[in-house]
Amino acid sequence: MALVAVTSLAVSAAGAQALPARATVPAGVTSLGAGVTSGTTASGVSDEFDGAHCAVGPGGPGSNATLPDPFTRNDGTRVTTRADWECRRAEIKKHAENTVYGAKPAAPQSVTGTVSRTGITVDVSDQGRSASFSASVELPSGNGPFPAVVVLGGFGTDTTTIKNSGAAVIRFDPYVAGAEGTGRTTKRGAFYDLYGSSSSTGLLVAWGWGVSRIIDVIERSDGSILRTDSFGVTGCSRFGKGAFVTGAFDQRIDLTMPVESGTAGAPILRGVATESGAQPLSSGYGEQPWLGDAFGSYVNNPAGLPVDTHSVIGMIAPRGLFLMENPSVDWLGARSGSVAALAGREIYTALGATSNISYVSDVADGTHCANRSEWRAPMEASIQRFLLGSGSAPGVFRVAPSKSGNLAEWRSWTTPTLS
């Protein structure tokens, strides 16, 4: 009988182990300027967010029917260097938490678990409470260790292409972290076991929190099965919403690949509020507690938001991002999705990483959450570049003519050249 390698870990301030060095600059970016690096916490896992040290003061944009300027700080001054982006990103994150998603808690006091060739176990303790969950692992051919893509949910993602590209698939049921119920009335799952069913944080952040704990476990493993420094995330439909938010709130994710995420996902919130046939904000907020409780104040007034999803794309920048959309289902708001991608690409361009964002909505098959040939090559190239460190970032932008948004109608700001 073949032996199955299992690695164990303990992520706690009391007993940090040495970690393999993690790249400080994502693949495909030559330099981000001083200060834009990944650190290591006292518990031995990499920082989820590189702007934790930034002082985020009061202020921010007032009500605006168009997209807020992602390059203007809370104090009204504009970002001028790539190094400035770290703390501007911290401001965006705080606004996004306070108005759209709810807060993602700091790393828990303790995370323990195991990594095997078939699965991952996670045990979390924080503030006197504990929770446990697991995920399955599917390895590609070869000897490894392998980078890994966390797949939220069990449908609508091309796991064959992921594995054929040389990455492992981690299948994670996000409902174990945050379960859906009837409308916004029920919040339950591992996240809420720790932080309370009355938490104002929505399911999308709870799902991302679960992925972050899986990454904690892998980072503290011996790296013999899964690489400790190379992670992606994907999912379709509501799980595409989750993948989008997960990638924004954890900088250890090198490649984010949301599929047909719709309202509460990548499409601009200001846009879906007016796009014919798109899921209304009231539905995106009320169908399930995907978004944080605070968003209720903006359901009928998205112009009052200090951020929009182009800014959330900026939280991902300059890491790898591949947005996949379906123009054939009006409910998904693909026109607003194209505006988000176009505006977000401006942030990538300012950071000198234009090719690190790809977007494809020009697809023939209109079936929701289908695997599409148009997405295969950009996905392969993205995995090769951002998870395996080979080849070039695809930088593909193919917008369906039927759902092509006009960025000029949505912005009054210009894109700076950051030094």
Give me the sheet containing 253-259, strands edge to edge.
6-12, 110-116, 119-126, 129-138, 168-172, 146-152, 226-236, 253-259, 320-324, 357-360, 397-398
Q: Are 170 and 148 in contact (CB under 8 A)?
A: yes
Cα-based distances in Å from 343 to 41, 70, 139, 169, 235: 33, 9, 36, 30, 22
Q: Given 237, 336, 358, 382, which residue is catalytic?
A: 237
Angle subtended at Cα 312 by Cα 72 and Cα 65, rounded to the nearest 5 degrees? 60
Element (H, E) at 146: strand 146-152
Q: Are 260 and 156 in contact (CB under 8 A)?
A: yes
80: CB partners within 8 A, 6+ apart: 416, 418, 419
Amino acid letter, 203: L
What is the rounded distance in angstroms from the CA atom of residue 287 to the CA atom of residue 272? 16
Tokens of 17: 């182990």
CB 137 within 8 A of CB 169: yes
Peptide bond into 108 cis (omega under 30): no
C-alpha 405/C-alpha 341 separation (Å) is: 10
Beta bridge partners of 114: 8, 121
**Cα–Cα distance between 48 and 71 in angstroms, integer?**
22
Neighbours of 84 (CB within 10 A): 20
One-letter amino acid of 298: Y
| Among 179, 184, 147, 178, residue whose Cα is nearest residue 163 | 147
First-to-last CA distance in the chain? Answer: 58
Taking the C-alpha atoms of residue 378 and residue 383, their distance in angstroms, rounded to an integer, is 9
Q: Is 242 helix (H, G, I), strand (E, B) or coil?
A: helix
- Please identify which of the residues 116, 125, 368, 404 carries the catalytic annotation: 368
What's the CA dihedral at 400, 405, 406, 411 to 10 degrees?
Answer: -140
Reduce the DSSP state of residue 312 to 3 states and report it: helix
Is 237 part of the annotated catalytic residue set? yes
Residue 396 CB neighbour total at 10 angstroms: 17
Q: Are 214 and 232 in contact (CB under 8 A)?
A: no
Active-site positions read 237, 368
